[in-house]
Amino acid sequence: MTRRDAVDVVAAVTGAVLIAGALVIIWVSRVQFGGTDVYVSELGETGASTARQFEIALLLVVAGGALVAFAGKDVRSRIRLLAIWAPAVSIWIACGFFLAASQVTCRAGCPLPTFSPFDWQDLTHITCAVLAFAAACLAMLQTAFAVDHRHLARFSLTTAIAVAAISGLGGILSLARFDTELGGYAEFTATSLAIAWVVVYGVAIAVDRARGQRARERPVGAESGDIRSSSRLASPTST
pLDDT tens for residues 45-98?
Answer: 888 888 899 999 999 999 999 999 999 888 888 888 888 889 999 999 999 999
Q: Is residue 220 part of a domain?
A: no
Domain count, the chain: 1
Q: Is residue 228 part of a domain?
A: no
Give the list of residues 6+ apart from residue 160 with CB closer than 8 angstroms, or none: 137, 140, 141, 144
Which SS3 state, helix, strand or coil, does residue 105 take? coil
Q: What is the spatial distance between Cα 176 and Cα 154, in angstroms, rounded to a whole number?
A: 33
φ/ψ (deg, to 5) at 147? -125, 160
Are residues 62 and 99 in contact, defined by beta-carbon separation less than 8 angstroms? yes
Q: What is the spatial distance between Cα 224 and Cα 213, in angstroms, rounded to a whole number?
A: 9
pLDDT tens for residues 152-162?
Answer: 778 899 998 98
pLDDT tens for residues 3-21?
Answer: 888 999 999 999 999 999 9
pLDDT tens for residues 148-203?
Answer: 666 777 889 999 898 888 877 766 766 666 656 677 788 888 889 999 999 999 99
Q: Is residue 136 part of a domain?
A: yes
pTM for the structure as a whole: 0.82
Q: Is residue 235 part of a domain?
A: no
* Helix (H), strand (E), coil (C) string for 27-76: HHHHHHHCCCCCCHHHHHCCCCCCHHHHHHHHHHHHHHHHHHHHHCCCCC
Q: What is the spatial distance between Cα 36 and Cα 53, in angstroms, rounded to a whole number?
A: 18
Range of the domain at 168: 3-210
Q: Is residue 221 part of a domain?
A: no
